[in-house]
Structure 1
């Protein structure tokens, strides 16, 4: 009776130990990472004293699984190196080759590859267990299991004499963890793959969109030194405006509106918005066909390439070649006629008949640049650039009441402050677009 009691206990204990392994072998798919305990699974082996073994049989040594495939040339070529490492470190490590390829496929490989045929390392062929424990799809992949049965490394082919020596000496290895997905869609654009899960790796991009579902007209330049990125974002802008933004510079024209454009192409009218504001259908059609978005993002250290990148992108997509050339064009000139009047104190009493008119712009001992920006903004309707013939840092004192749309009245009022505003043709920088 005592013998039977011991037998029952032994069978029950063995059943408790073996059952989890059977569940792992048949059903389990997980994604083990360094620090996780390695399941004590059964493995079938070639080139080993026993036909099968358990992971726990290799405790007290570093266990290395080298996952490979019959189609992986580098995997096969590295087999002699792995054999040499096994011989060098002897019983301190155990390297086991692992492949999902079938017996028949491996046998066919042996007929044409002496390297694979002559390799004496223990091997698992037709694996259906280990590959389900680690999430990857490319080979070679190396997994290290430490002496306590804990996953130590999950990585690419970084098993070398140096890395093994570092580990065996007790020093910490700084090797990247392999990060791959079983469901990786190789046919999907990377920005869409896995519902955008790859976007965190994006370093440098530029993109052109047709009109998106937004009112648009959004313009932004990103210069983020904290997150180390820089870029442009233009939403639903006309093609010509995108070109203007791409070519503005502090030397040429810091405001896209004042960079003149000349179109030398057939059917240039398609780029110009219909002038009839009552034809809603024509305006809507033009917006749909001619409004675009542009976005770019680059590392902060490469922010100087943004304008050149945008120029190449626009030419590559729209096909219009752009050059900045000197052309004689109508301009509005701001000049000085009497410098003594430019910075006089404003009168305390206004001239008769004008006291009730509100002041539209006032500057007291401020740089001329402040007033110049006001004039550029208000004279934009003239569709010609405003050129300053005076030092922009010269201080002025003015109080302007004239309606900016009354050019003659504005010019006469500026004359009271020693300034002259007139129209004249001059050679200026013009952005020329050609087919």
Structure 2
């Protein structure tokens, strides 16, 4: 697994306010009047409009990118919410220039989406934005900005029917807003961000509880002040174990052997469609040793803290193996990219101009046996698949007509094994 050497950032909020009519683009605070900014639009009759054109009672801006899997999955939900609330709300996906995607890139994604799902992606989309992203700074997507009657109300990481109803009725106190966070400075110790600072001589820090002021981040860093460092900021227990034992993240449930009886603690390790909501932990260990030695120390610390032992073991297990039967049938039309392997649709599912790994990832999320790619395909392909991907026979029937085959066979697979610890050793 490739380890990062810088801190990964998920979400960002900035604050200070400006009134409507001012021409600068300083970040806004909740309660500020939102300036009437110009918008460049696609998937809409007019290519240019101002924000005030959308006179709906509630405008929800969604900072997004088609490269964001969660964003792509939310298109159907946002379409349905727009239809449900009709003229009371206006949902506007916003593609910022900081995502480096052009208007033509977004048009191509929308075109491909509509070909896969007729009637889908009904929302006008703001493209090549350079103003809204300064008024509402962000460093991760999706991120939602709620504007009611021209006033910036709140910022969230999600949008639901209940959230919309609450905002329309001025009941926002129960909505989980996106926290204000700062970057984690690798040249400082995590103790600087806790209520009670720890002794600077402490060899490692492991403390329960989310530090909402910091972005989630994990990895190994070279610290010029304190030596090499292994860090996990606002990480799940599963994320801590995966980092310490060099397990691939995300894992699939068919790669985990959990003998601890603590399934909930490791739910987030599984590459699933569900959202993990905690608990979160923070860990830091710094030393003048190599990263392998730091990982060993972290393994001991986790065993001692959670009373759980973990290991990565190669075991021969029954698997589904994907192979090529006829290369002449493997083709792609090119240009349009995308797939409908995740969307709630009727009819066949499709992949357009996608690597075969997209299919393998989806099947691993669904199947109890590991799905292994032995196709050795480097080029992208087009595929048509049955709606019910859990029907292996139906999947195989369609794959066989397209030069692929899924067979059950024993294979050596690296499994992530978790067991209760009776003692911990370094």
TM-score by length of 2: 0.38
* Structure with higher RCO (Cα < 8 A, 6+ apart): 2
**More helix per residue:** 1
Task: Please tell me whether Structure 1 or Structure 2 has the larger radius of gyration of its CA atoms.
Answer: 1
